[in-house]
Amino acid sequence: MMRRVKVGSKVFNNLVARGDQGKMRLQKKVSGILEKVRTEGDTALIRYTKKFDKVELKRKDLRVTEAEISGAYQDIKPEIVSTLKEVIDNINKFYKNQVPKSWSMKHDSGVELGEKFVPIEKVGVYVPSGTVPLVSSVYMTVLPAVIAGVKKITLVSPPNKYNSIDPHILVMANLLKVDEIYKIGGAQAIGALAFGTKTVPKVDKIVGPGNEYVTEAKRQVFGYCDIDMLAGPSEVLIIANHHANIDYLKQDLMAQAEHHKGLAILVTPSKKVFNALRDDASIKGYLIKVKNLEEAAEVSNMIAPEHLQLMVKSPKRVAKNITNAGAIFLGQYSPVSLGDYVAGPSHVLPTGGTARYSSGLNLRSFMKSSHIISYSRKALCNSAGWVRNLTKLEKLEKHWESVSIRCE
C-alpha cells in the first residue's frame, strides 16, 4: 500500500535526504577488500571470487577467452542478437549528437583562447549479473565510451556457476568491440580496475551500476581514478493529474517495485488520482498530495529523482519548472522502461538526490578538455600591469618576474 506523506513532514524530509546516510560497517569492510586487492593483486581476486561468488578460478581463468566469446553466440537466440543490433543503432544516433567540438577565439590584441576535447584513454565498465544478466547495462555504458573515442575498454562482471559470464553479456560486449573482459565482480573488481593487477589493467575511469559494495568501492577508489557516479537503488517520481490514465500509473509504480529496494513516489494535485491509489494494496511507495502542478514541480525538485515521469496534459509546460532530475519522461506513452532499454540516452543516472548537482552518463563522461592559451609578446606586455597588481597582492614575486623578463 502507498504511504501517504505530507510535504515538510519527517518522512518527506527523509525522502529528500535519502542519499545522506553513512554506513561505517560497509565502509570498513570494503576498505579491507580494496587494500588486499591493492597489495595482493590476482591472489586476492581469486580468493574473493571463491568466497563471494562460490567460483574457483585460476589466474589464467580471470580473462574471458575468444573461444568463450564465440561459444556465447551459440547459447543465445538469433532474434536477441537482432534486437541488440537495433538498440545499438538507436543509441548511436542519440550520442552522435553529443560529440563536443574543440573551439578557439582570437582577439585583435594577439590573444588566442580555446578548448580542446580528447577522449579518456582507458575505461573500466562494471556490469552487474545477479539473478539475471543486466545486458542493457553493457550497451548503456560501453556505447557512449566507444563513440567518444576511448582507446581501451575493459569490462568486468561476476562469474556464474558455470565458471563463465552470461552469454548475453559476452555477445553484447563483443558486438561493441570491448577490448578485454574479466570474470570478477563486487568491490574486488573495482579495486582491480583502480589499482591494476598482474592480469587486470589499471584504468583511468570506472563506470557502471552495482550493489552497495560496488558503489562504496567506487567512492573509495575515486582519486586513484575517476568514477561516473555513486548510484543507489533505482527510483521514479511521477507527477500526475486528472488527465493521467490510472491503469498506466499503477503499472509504472509496480514496475519500480521489481528493482531491489526500488523507490516509487507519486505526486498529484488530483483528488481522483489520490483516491484511486491511496488504498491500493498492490502498490508500494509514497503518495504526496499537493495543491497544483507548480507545487508538484517544487516537490520534485526537492526530491531530485533519478527518473521523473510527467503524466499530465501539457508535460512540456511542467518540464520548464523542473531543474533536478536524471531523466524526464514526457506524457502518457513514455514510461521509464523505454529509457531503461531502447530510447537512446543511458540509463545510468544520478540517484539519492544527486540529480541536484550531477547528470546521467553521457558522451562527455568519457571526454576531458584542455584549455588553450596563446599570447603574442604585445598581448603579454599589455596584460603585465594586471599581473603585477595581483602578484603583489598574493606576494608571489617570481610569478611577476616570469612576465616582466619577457617585456624588458
What are the E-state strand segments in 184-283? 205-207, 226-227, 235-240, 263-268
Q: Is the dihedral of CA 393, 395, 397, 400 positive or negative?
A: negative
Q: Which three cell numbers stand for residue 335?
A: 514510461
What is the C-alpha to C-alpha distance for residues 298 and 381, in angstroms, rounded to an integer? Answer: 51
Residues 6+ apart with CB under 8 A from 403: 380, 384, 387, 388
Sign, CA torsion 5/8/325/193: negative
Q: Which residues pair with 5 in a beta bridge?
A: 288
Residue with cell 531491489: 260
Exactly one of 168, 235, 307, 347 is catalytic; name it: 307
Measure CA of the first residue to CA of the last residue in the chain; give whole Å: 79
Among the listed residues 168, 216, 235, 306, the single catalytic one is: 306
Residue 93 CB partners (closer than 8 Å, separation 6+)? 344
How far is it, in rounded angstroms, from Cα 359 to Cα 346? 11
Catalytic (active site) residue 298: no
DSSP string, 259-299: STT-EEEEEES-HHHHHHHTT-TT--EEEEE-SSHHHHHHH
Task: Confirm whether 306 is a catalytic residue.
Answer: yes
Interacting residues of 281 by C-beta distance below 8 A, sequence separation 6+:
1
- Closest by CA to 189, choosing from 174, 169, 203, is 203
Q: Which are the catalytic amino acids?
A: 306-307
